[in-house]
Structure 1
Amino acid sequence: MSTLVALARAQAVAEGRAQPIATVRHLHIHDRPLVLIPLAMAGEANAPLAAMLGTSPADRQLLVVGQPRNRDERFAFVADLAARVLPYVDSFRAAEEPVAVDRGRDVRYRYVDAPQIWVPNTGGVEFLKLLGRSTRFRRVDGDYPVHPSVPLLGRWLTFFAGSAEVPGSSLLLNAVQALGLHWATGQSAAEDAQLAVQLAWITAGVREARDVENAAVAGPDTDPDFDNHVLAPLIADGSPDLPKVLEELLLPTWEQMWAALGLLRKLPPGERVPMRWDLDKDAYSGFVQGIEEGNPPQPRRDGAVAAAARLQRLENAAARYTVQRAFDDPLIMAEHRLAGTAFGATVTLANPDRVDDTGKRPVLRPRIMVVTTETVRVEPGASLTSPARPGQKAKVISVSAGAAGTDVLLELSGGMGRKLVAEPSSVPAVGERLLLTTLSEAYRPGGALPEPEQTPWTHGGPPQGPALRQPDEE
């Protein structure tokens, strides 16, 4: 927890209402998201009991498993779920758009949009991940066959669950985490996991939050007391009232999900949110292409090289997401200013036409002097950037105490054109206010990894291929 978030939580306690910790929305919200509320039977490993889903508040559907312990009924439920999820996923394949690659020398194509699934909490994400793992290898013929849509849905659920691990991705989102990214309540993170309470803190305050503390948890597991006293008799008797009881249980969470989406939609999107959604469209387009080309299901476990490569991608995504959120949001950048890795300054001197001719060829290297009254924890030689000019680097030449604060001498490179004369407005002018930081959006290449067939024996040896799950394994 950062200093400012801790302060916001303390202020929420004092005022009895959640406090904003973001000025913009840091995730993409689809115009037609699929809200999916899974419900599993407590005490049973990944035993689906019900699901409520739809793409609008008035368009909800309820799927129910009459006997969660019955294998056939469970896979019939998954087939019903696939009949509703797969058409939604496929509905974004109607149109493509060109994307320039290789510095404009070539073009590739991707879909103009992508699906987005919302679940109430991180438990919902984990449920979809486990459901995908247990279904994507199922056989559609031979002994114990399942409907052909079942393994296909398993592959899609695995894809969405994997995307949820990528910082900044908006393909699979959970409401609790999305709200917590933008508001701080006066309770612990563990208490925020209950959507009804967290939402009450934001919309009404602590008093209403206390009133809903004992409300039904938004899944995916049911309450054991509910299982024993309500659910078990209905299942044992095969009661036709089961769907009605489960609908009444899930309906409050359904309404809370759309209320959360409404709150988030009121925030303006951050400048770099569309850029990250483009990456999601790329991921979706690539996965569709893989299915069309007959690629096998995702392996049960990644090999050593694949796991290392995925870890690199996640680390790079996390670093990039941190920088982008700070560049988009002054409240988040304020945390870096407190730490001294970012500071606001005013340009006091500027030499925009300075040329460095000490190398093999002369290069344009303007210098500016800035003054700041904020804490500066950068050393000479450090590279700074400004959110207003992300393509321009500022090398710290010197840091010294001045009459009006701390004087920082900077040498600029990039973002000024290719001539020995800077393009207009590309060099900050005297009097201009700048925000400078050590954060950078620059590309970070990953480390070199061996080919999978060259994996050493200490890391499992060459991959042998995914072993198929036996149809009678649970």
Structure 2
Amino acid sequence: MSLISTLARMEAVEAGRAQPLATVRHRHLAERPLVFVPLTTAGEAGAPLGALVGTDPDEPRLLVVPQPRDRDLRFAFLAELADEILPYVDSFADGVEAVEKNETDPETGKKVKVEVELCSDAPQLILPSRSGVEYVRLLGRSMRFRRTAEQDPETPFPAPPRVPLLGRWLTHFGDRARVPGSSLLLAATDLLNRHWATGQSSLEDQHLGALLAWIDVPDGESGAEAALRAELGRDAAGQLLCPPAGPATDPAFDNRLLAPAIERYDRARQALGTAQDGASADERLGELHRAEREIRRLIATQLKPTWDAVWRAVELLRELPEGARVPDRWTRDRWSFTAHRDRVTAGEPPQPRRDDAVTAARKLAAREQAQGQLEAQEALDDPLVLAGRRLTGEAFVAEVVEVTMAWTESKRPAPRPLLTVRTEDRPHLGEGVKVYRSLDGKPQTAQFAGHDDDGSMVLRILDRMGRGKEPAEGSVPEKGERLAWTLFEHEARVGAKLPDPEETPWTHGGPPRADVAELPDAVTPEDVL
């Protein structure tokens, strides 16, 4: 936790409400996100209980599994979920724009520009909490290798037709959520925690109701009081006023309400199976429908408060202006979505259970690069984030007090102007250390050349001044300008090129075997009740 975050939390405790950690929104919010609020059976992470899903805050779709131990009912739930999510995903697949991209010519090995398709927008899924994001990843893992009757007529317990496709998409969203700065799959709690600091612990910040209580404080209360009521407040029946943000349920709800309702449903289903004539069958069918409606009503009472809380979080975040570099990161999400769309359209197999050594190394390197780039871009977009880097000596804001022109001593002299700057910050500068500032969206490099007699710093500009002997207009700061400089690079460096998977050394398992077909995931305790 940075010093700025610690100070903000202390101020939140004193003020009784959350304090801002950012002045802009550092994540993309789609105009039409899909909110997904899931619930699972207690103690069984792989057994869905219900969900609210949709793009309209006033018209959510309620999905319920009245008996989670029934495989057919679970498959019916997944089929209904696919009917909600896949049309939303497909609605972004056809809108494309033509862009130029550098690719390597296989014959010459040279970089050439080719025109490719890029989806003009991409879907966005928002879950209540981080555990919900993990649940999406688990769903994708358990669904993408399922076989349908159309694929394999002899497969036991075939899945509904579109369930494996939904598993592939949820796996992609789950993998993308691990990339820092990605916005395809988001948790509402992570979004709020990135932009506000509360007066409670990081663990308590994972409760969406308590987190919103600090940010959107009710009149006449403090954030601590409202958060305590959100966490522990119960009604006359002993049920939580603000149920957990899923996918877990409250034990009091499970024991007092849900378990008896499911038991009534089981008895009604058994009675229907033993009906002797049409009249008794109709009566018992009505009892079964009433038992199912009661389960749906109970599940809705647990999901609706969280559904409303997620949309309230979206409203609060929309009030913040979007950061200048957020669209660039969303463009990378669009490339990711387009690439997976193309893989699905081409009929490629599902994502493997386990990445080969080269693919895993590439993913890790890409995530490390994305993390460094995200931290730099957030600091450049937001003076409040930059203040935290200034406190740690990784950046400074200085006023230019003098500009002295100088050139290199070579046959073709190049400009190397010296800037005398004055700052009250204490950057960790040493001889020859490079610093960077943003010039027209690109980093300009300067080198620390020492201190002046009065203690001012001297910086030597090194690049982005054009090719002439005289610097290009606007490329050299003028006297009186106040500029932000960073000791960290604005663009993360690309690591060493990795070999192709076919050239994986034996120390890392050797090349992937093409003669071994991809098998479904092994059955685990999470998959079976």
Fold similarity call, TM over 0.5: yes
SS in 1 for 2:370: helix
Alignment-derived partner of residue 212 in structure 1: 230
Distance apart, 1:396 and its partner CA:
2.0
Contact 1:198–1:209, Cα closer than 8 Å, also in 2: yes
TM-score computed with the length of structure 1 as normaliser:
0.95
In structure 1, the residue matched to 2:332 is: 279
Q: How does 1:169-208 map to 2 (within 5 A)?
A: 169-204=182-217, 205-208=223-226
Alpha-carbon offset, residue 146 of structure 1: 1.1
What percentage of residue pairs aligned between the two structures are identical?
45
Structure 1 pair 170–407 and aligned structure 2 pair: CA distance change class (3 A) = same
- Alpha-carbon contact 1:392-1:414 (below 8 Å) kept: no
- Note closer, same or farther for the CA distance 1:161–1:328 as it changes in structure 2 (3 Å cut): same
Matching residue of 1:139: 147
Q: Secondary structure at the match of 1:197?
A: helix
Look up the SS of the partner of 1:212 in the other structure: helix
Q: Name 1:424's counterpart in structure 2.
A: 473
- Following superposition, the deviation at residue 385 of structure 1 comes to 1.0
Name the CA distance, whole Å, in 2 between partners of 1:328 and 1:266: 17
Kindly provide the CA deviation profile for residues 286-313 of structure 1, in whole angstroms up to 9, marking residues without a partner as x.
1101111111111111111111111000
The 5 A counterparts of 1:54-453 are 54-102=54-102, 105-141=113-149, 142-143=154-155, 144-204=157-217, 205-214=223-232, 215-238=242-265, 239-240=291-292, 241-352=294-405, 354-358=406-410, 361-388=412-439, 390-400=441-451, 402-403=453-454, 406-453=455-502
* Matches of 2:18 and 2:201, distance apart in 1: 12
Letter aligned with residue 242 of structure 1:
I
In structure 2, C-alpha distance between the alignment counterparts of 1:392 and 1:136, rounded to whole Å: 43
Partner of 1:28: 28
TM-score relative to the length of structure 2:
0.85
**Any stretches of 5+ residues in structure 2 without a counterpart?**
103-110, 218-222, 233-241, 266-290
Q: In the TM superposition, what whole-angstrom CA distance separates every residue of 1:4-32 from its partner, at most 9, and x where no partner exists? A: 10111111111111111110000011110
Number of equivalent positions: 470
- Residue 402 of structure 1 and its aligned partner are, at CA, apart by 4.1
AA paired with 2:69?
A: R
The residue type paired with residue 460 of structure 1 is: G
- After superposition, give the CA deviation of every residue in 1:387-427 in whole Å (9 maximum; x if it has no partner): 35553433324222642xx4222222333233222222221
- Relative distance call for 1:472 and 1:27 in structure 2 (3 A) is closer
- The answer to whether the 8 A contact 2:96-2:120 is kept is yes
- Is contact 2:434-2:448 (8 Å) kept? no
Matched letter for residue 211 of structure 1? R
| Closer, same or farther: CA 187–341 of 1 in aligned 2, 3 Å | same
Q: Structure 1 residues 392, 260: CA separation in 2 closer, same or farther (over 3 Å shift)?
A: closer
**Equivalent in the alignment of 2:510:** 461
**C-alpha separation in 2, matches of 1:470 and 1:367:** 62
Distance 1:402 1:207, change over 3 A: farther
On the 8 A contact 2:176/2:182 being kept in 1, the answer is: yes
- CA-CA distance at 1:335 after TM superposition: 1.0
* Distance (whole Å) between structure 2 residues aligned to residue 331 and residue 470 of structure 1: 46
Q: Helix, strand or coil for the counterpart of 1:387? A: strand
Q: Deviations over 1:156-175 (max 9, x none)?
A: 00000111111111100000
Which of the two has higher C-alpha Rg? 2
Structure 1 unmatched ranges of 5 or more? none
Structure 1 residues 119-174: Cα deviation after superposition (integer angstroms, max 9, x where no partner): 00011000010010000001112222112200000000000011111111110000
| Counterpart position of 1:12 | 12
Whether the 8 Å contact between 2:41 and 2:47 is mirrored in structure 1 is: yes
Structure 1 distance, partners of 2:340, 2:417, is 46
Is the Cα–Cα contact under 8 Å of residues 390 and 440 in structure 1 kept in the other structure? no
* Greater alpha carbon shift after TM alignment, 76-85 vs 143-152: 143-152
- Structure-2 separation of matches of 1:250 and 1:180: 22
CA–CA distance in 2 between the matches of 1:167 and 1:472? 31
Q: 1:89 to 1:392 in 2, by over 3 A?
A: closer
Greater shift, 320-329 or 410-419, is seen at 410-419
**8 Å contact from structure 2 (residues 93, 119) kept in 1:** yes
